[in-house]
Amino acid sequence: MVAEPEFDGHDPMVTSTAEIVAGWPLPQGAYLADTIRRGLLASIGTGYDDPQVVADLAVGPLVIALARMEVDLADARRRIEELERALGLRNGHER
């Protein structure tokens, strides 16, 4: 009996690096991710189409995006804590 190949998440009909990158499903409103993807596609369009090169080109922008999210999350947590304290004091509760 021949085992069927396992699905690895990639469309077997997609053959180029550009098609793979262009096919990444991004949620609506993911502007930074879309900017990163468009930059990668532009690089691929100028000849940098080796998958390893594309991965290398993606790492820097992804680290920057992660750092921004980390800072934004810490700021949001701080503001939530301030709001909770203010509401607690307003309602006569101390937190």
Of 11-15, 44-48, 52-56, the one with minimum mean pLDDT is: 11-15
What confidence score (pLDDT) does residue 14 get? 62
Residue 21 contacts residue 54 (beta carbons within 8 Å): yes
Residue whose tokens read 């992660």? 66
Q: Is the pLDDT of residue 42 over 90?
A: yes
User: What is the distance between the alpha carbons of residues 2 and 12, in angstroms, rounded to a whole number?
Assistant: 19
Render pLDDT for 6-16 as a digit per residue (tens, 0 to 9): 555 556 676 78
User: What is the distance between the alpha carbons of residues 48 and 45, in angstroms, rounded to a whole number?
Assistant: 7
Q: Is the pLDDT of residue 90 over 90?
A: no
3-state helix, strand, coil in the chain (%, to 5): 65, 0, 35
At 28, list the tokens.
């609506």
- For the chain, give every domain's residue range: 30-90
Residues 77-85: what's their mean pLDDT? 95
What φ, ψ does residue 93 adopt, rounded to 5°? -110, 140
Q: Say whether pTM exceeds 0.75.
A: no
